[in-house]
Amino acid sequence: MTLNQLNYYVEIVRQGSFTKAAEKLFVSQSTLSKAIRALEEEFQMELINRGAKEFQLTPQGNVFNEYAVKILDFYHTQTQELFQRLHSADGTLKLGIPPTAGAIFFFSILYQFRSKYPGIDLQIEEITSKTLHEMVAAGKLDMGVVIEPFNDDKFFKRPIYTSEAVLLVPRQHPLAAKRCVSFSALRDEKFLLVTPDYMFHDVVREKCGEAGFSPNVTFESYQWELLFEMVADNQGICILPKPLVDKFNNTRVHQIHLKEPEFPWTLSLIYRKDKFITVPMQCFLDLCFSS
């Protein structure tokens, strides 16, 4: 028994005629006749009295019609409810955000999202971009924020925020008088760098490599604030995202634009290409790109 067969049967009963039902359903009479025969064979009983002069159901046919109407009504009701549930702004969104990204850009987006969509359970993981990438790939997170460059053919990526990374030097440093420096000028400097679990760590090394040298890293930390304080204390130089530096007390350090190569700093949202975009995911995307 199929929904089509039930729909055919109910329409035949409603019209009291195979001919009228065929016209209403835009199918042939033979299609309707085959559908009714199939139902009668499945239930091993006659549903329509073919010996009567006028259209007439058998007693079993009346019972069948009653239940067929209920089944179709239930199907249509549940289908509408399913559609509404799938397209309603509720559910769960599991989002991965690196600590710096939250402080720089997402603190406002998260507040707006929770205010606009109170029915969505927003679950946030504050982790580094490398770990975040792995968790999105494993399906443990719906979406995540990474630092460019990010290249993985299994993911969609949507750039949402762009700034630059800048060089930080103490006020007494010889480069402090510069507004812009080339990477090659940093060849002999002592680098203070974030730990390798940050994507930013690899990007800094890649930029130095493009300038023809490997940085002399004397200290690594996952605490961005600590690196800033060490620069202010004249313990070395550091490269950090400009929006983060702007939040610190800049009077104790000097920030310098980098060139050759340029160092753009871009945040992108990533999600798997093989994953269905849920309503909570779409709501978050829409909010990010409308802000």
Determine the Cα–Cα distance for residues 164 and 161; give it in Å rounded to an integer: 10
Residues 183 and 251 in one domain: yes
* pLDDT at site 86: 67
Residues 111 and 134 in one domain: yes
Residues 154 and 271 in one domain: yes
Domain boundary among 65, 85, 105: 85
Residues 212 and 152 in one domain: no
Ordered mean pLDDT values, 10 residues apiece, the chain (291 residues): 90 90 90 90 90 88 92 84 66 88 82 90 89 91 91 92 94 93 96 92 95 96 92 95 84 92 93 87 88 64
Structural domain for 12, as ranges: 1-85
The radius of gyration computed from the CA coordinates of the chain, to the nearest angstrom, equals 33
Q: What are the phi and psi torsion angles at 96 (to 5°)?
A: -105, 130
Residue in 167, 165, 166 with CA at minimum distance from that of residue 175:
167
* pLDDT at site 270: 94
Determine the Cα–Cα distance for residues 79 and 130; give it in Å rounded to an integer: 41
Residues 2 and 32 in one domain: yes
* pLDDT at site 291: 64
Residues 243 and 168 in one domain: yes
Residues 123 and 216 in one domain: no
Determine the Cα–Cα distance for residues 45 and 40; give it in Å rounded to an integer: 5
Q: What is the number of domains present in the chain?
A: 3
Task: Kindly report the pTM of this predicted structure.
Answer: 0.65
Residues 231 and 280 in one domain: no
Residues 174 and 224 in one domain: yes
Residues 257 and 170 in one domain: yes
Tokens of 131: 């770990």
Domain boundary among 70, 85, 100: 85
Domain boundary among 85, 106, 136: 85
Tokens of 277: 């975009």
Burial profile 212-249: b = 16 or more Cβ within 10 angstroms, e = fewer: eeebeeeeeeeebeebbbbbbeeebbbbbbbbbbeebe
* pLDDT at site 152: 92
* pLDDT at site 227: 94
* pLDDT at site 94: 94
Residues 111 and 250 in one domain: no
Domain containing residue 147: CATH number: 3.40.190.10
Residue in 148, 151, 174, 143 with CA at minimum distance from that of residue 159:
148
Residues 166 and 251 in one domain: yes
Contact residues for 9 (Cβ-Cβ < 8 A; gap 6+): 35, 36, 39, 47, 64, 65, 68
* CB atoms near residue 157 (< 10 Å): 16
Domain containing residue 192: CATH number: 3.40.190.290
